[in-house]
């Protein structure tokens, strides 16, 4: 399991999340629901999929022992 991020980094993420929520309240609500619905997949995997990876690539990397 990865170590928890530094407080400063967490505060930056929180600030960005609040700005995103203010700018796109409906999209933010939908994103939160998507994260809740698929939390068993893991947030790291959800983020990788959102950034363009595919399920097949994630499974292939896992089977080869490459997490990142």
Is residue 67, in this structure, part of any structural domain at all?
A: yes
Is residue 64, in this structure, part of any structural domain at all?
A: yes
Domain count, the chain: 1
Question: What is the percent of the chain with per-residue pLDDT over 90, rounded to a whole number?
Answer: 82
Q: Which residue has the higher pLDDT, 19 or 63?
A: 19
What pLDDT is attached to residue 4? 86
Is residue 16, in this structure, part of any structural domain at all?
A: no
Full domain range(s) for residue 34: 25-68
Range 8-24 average pLDDT: 97
Confidence of residue 62 (pLDDT cuts 50, 70, 90): confident
Task: Look at the pTM and tell me if it is higher than 0.75.
Answer: yes
**What's the burial of 31, exposed, middle or buried (CB within 10 Å: 0-12/13-18/19+)?**
middle
């Amino acid at each position: 399991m990865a170590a928890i991020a530094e407080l400063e980094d967490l505060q930056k993420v929180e600030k960005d999340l609040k700005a995103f929520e203010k700018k796109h309240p409906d999209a933010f609500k939908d994103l939160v629901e998507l994260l809740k619905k698929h939390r068993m997949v893991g947030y790291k995997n959800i983020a990788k999929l959102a950034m363009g990876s595919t399920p097949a690539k994630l499974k292939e990397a896992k089977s080869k022992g490459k997490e990142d």
